[in-house]
Structure 1
């Protein structure tokens, strides 16, 4: 609360002074209005009182006398006007005196009755004049009824005019006092307002300087944290505000574009000359974020490219793994096309232990008849060396004709070469050789290694299957040979047994014959 009064003291003082001056001004204005109205009221009462003689009595007397002299109805106009205005004058006087709280309204009533009586008397005089009873008219005129009215009027008007004069003087005095109070109030306000105005001007100047300082801080922070053009611009409040709003809008539009996947959006006004000034600003950070998102997008595209390629490749391997030759041709053709390469070949390990070699099983974009029986010894050339070391070989910027000398690609002329051992676990099963006019990137090599695992597994499985088939065929042949030998042995045993039985029979017959001969002897 104290801080509030401290910060707003000048405003509060000015407010209180204005409120007080407004209250006093309203009060003085009311007093002035009341006394002005009272002055007009006293003047009106005086005027109406005087009109009793000047308008009513004089009009009655003038009209009656004129009509009596010439007998013309037009001369009765002052008389008629007096009779008509009589009621209004007395009614207005009665109303005004009641407002003024005049304490002798009985004198007004007595005067009114006397005037009404005089009007009736004047009417009789007019009637006598109309019928030419001038003697009666003159006698009535000699009665001087107007004097009776004047006595009542004098008794009423003297104290009334004195009362009205007193009211008027008091109203004038109050009016003048109110005017003096207004003057004093205005002078007081001026005297109070001058130092307050000085304080207010100082306060306004201080606040203006504080606002300007704040604006400069805003402008400096905008340069430091949002965007720095590198040029000193207009430091007016409008210019700083416009610059701040423009930078915020640019940041908002920049972020909206990135959320929509537009990673080519730029920050308007960012150039090579001021790029170093915006390393840590919002503009610089947004550009860094844009580059990171671009990298992430590229990585996602590479990852999706690899996943899609591996899915298709693995499906192809599964569909053709029953035929080694078809599998090799399909896989090499697919890999060359998927990597936008120009040439490719697949060498598979063949031969028995101690006499192994690499045989070309499939090639793409080559004269197949020329390379169909190509054979590379282990350790010979780049292909043989890659098999021996079990590691990928990648060559860039190959001289013209180099591939025809050092690789298995014959007369090919591409500039970039990659040789990838296809491994299953730690066993190298085959060698894939690709050549292209474009460089092979890291994700291309990784893709070839992963794809090579599928192909190596299929080749090794196919080789094992072929070996098993060969062994089964050899086993069947051996079994058939043993079965034939067993049959021959059985037949030999049967023949031997028959021979033995024949010998036993013959031996018995000989014994019987010998016994018979001995008996005869």
Structure 2
């Protein structure tokens, strides 16, 4: 991430501003605290003192009024007494409330209240009553005993002590307030110092980060200008600003200069090698020997152009690091192999990732296979004089290619010069001999010239024939490559399809066995204990069995529909469908589902939509049911809206061009659910394909619903499209034309049984498991009473299917077992951590959030419960499923649909022996 100089400076200023802001907040907070303390003292303490005085005044008024009434007998003297008697409880309660933050003073105040009440009842009211009865003797006796005076003296003493404590608390608060004021000053001075130091530190860091790299770049540029730079050196980069850009540009300049310097140096070394060489074999050998190490090659070959039999052939002339047994050819024709093709195309070939065994480079310690191949033509005046080939253990780099490219012309010129000199020497040696024989051979030469002309013509014809053959070979090679690519693509597609079908079979096994498991368990319990059950319990069992049977029938119907479609056994019966009835029909079917999931559900009918269309109403309803079922399935909150309206002409032209003259209705189902990723929006319509086909997927299902929708839509002559955004919802739009005549998709329903045949996987125990099972039954025989074994045991049932949970809980509770259920693996782990002491765990495999495999591994390793018996309950009829469950941590394994007696037998075995399964 780039972090430029401006950003750095702004960051520094921002840090300073933030520090100042934080300082102001701290100081403001302390000042607010001081203000609150001042207000507390000025309001709370003064009000507290006033209330103490008020209570004392109320008591004094009562005492004075009582004495005046006793002396005079006049009722007017009772008015202060009565006023004080009414006021003191209120003042006391207010005073008690103000002391809420001082429990000790509250307790002191509470000790005063009984004295006041005692004086009122035993002195005040008592004396007033005696006076009203004119019992002067009793009044005199009371005053002689000084009972009231003693209580009043005690009250004054306690009030004085209470008030003294409050004055001391007020003095302490004032002292604390003074100390807080001093602390605020200290904090303010400290913050000013810290902000100043932080400002200096930020300025120092920013300046150093900017200046350091600039100085390094300046030194490097100066050394380049003075030709004293080390081209292998690079500027170290620690910043991400414009200085980094400058340093990187300088490093690129150094890298470019280093490559150029390397190329020029090696060019000079090789150019000096050509001087004085007069033999072509020596020239090529010296060239390949010199160039191969420069290119870091471990093998090199030079092929020179030769004309043999009137045909250009590239012959192997020199080699570098060649072994005794060469695999490569000694010569190539133009266009033959990579060497011949390089000469024909006049371009360089660079191949990486050579296969093992292409060529072996041997040494005294062994042999190695090169991984990169470089083949280049040597051109002179646009004519290929030679082809060089190099092999290396590592890829060739750009500077190697640049060096070879610049050497082409010079090496080609050297080849031409040496060949020319060799030809001149040969001609000079032969010229004298030819002069002597010239006269004698003049006639023979004439004949040979005529013959040579004829041979050249034949060679031309042969070359044309070879060129035609080469073209045919190239064309055939292209065809073979195209066929190979098609086969590879088909193979990949076949493997992908096989994997999707495997996942589908696993999920379908789970979907079919889950309701079947509930049916078998509950029906067996009805058979065995039906007479002992109450009517309500039998009705509940029957309801669950019926629901599971309906789910099983729906799954089988989906498979049958897809099989009949693929076999061409679906008949389309065209009839008039009343479009205005569709909203009420859909609301009646899915309104309860929306209410149960607390979702808004609307069906909107456009006023211009056709009232009646001609189509297959049954198939249309089946399509809409599948779309709405998916919408409710994948929507947890929000709304689901269905819109019925006439299709737009541009959409009809795009999707149903042959239906442009017919009425087309558009029905869209919009939800606010989880949405579909863009790369999955087409595969969801394919059979056996699902967005999530794993065992721990969040949502169940077989993945056939949308495939059936697409096929039914095609049979109705319509189209279905989807528009979706992940985590925001989806819209499926169905375009259905009004068919003018009855269309049918060939075939009848007579062969439903064969078209819908379904191979069920039968899972049985292997011989070793049978022996283990028999041994476990033998152990069981010695256990004793079954009822006593199960009674009081604590079992954790982990299963996401409520029907299975109901069936198993019902069966286990009848044995006296205490069962706790968890809907997925994550919840099971939480229960085991919160409530230890379970005797056994029944673990389903395919669950949302966390599947059975992960959960068992977490129980064994994360929770450390290695001795807790775990019985895996799985409906996956896949190979090696038992071993997979054991590896994940299962103590034993049982297939769905469950045999309840077999389950009880396994539980008895593991509840008795309680051993570590690992």
| More strand as a share of residues | 2
Same fold by TM-score greater than 0.5: no
Give 1 or 2 for the bigger CA radius of gyration.
Answer: 1
Q: If the length of structure 2 is used for normalisation, what is the TM-score?
A: 0.25
| More helix as a share of residues | 1
Higher relative contact order (CA 8 A, sep 6+): 1
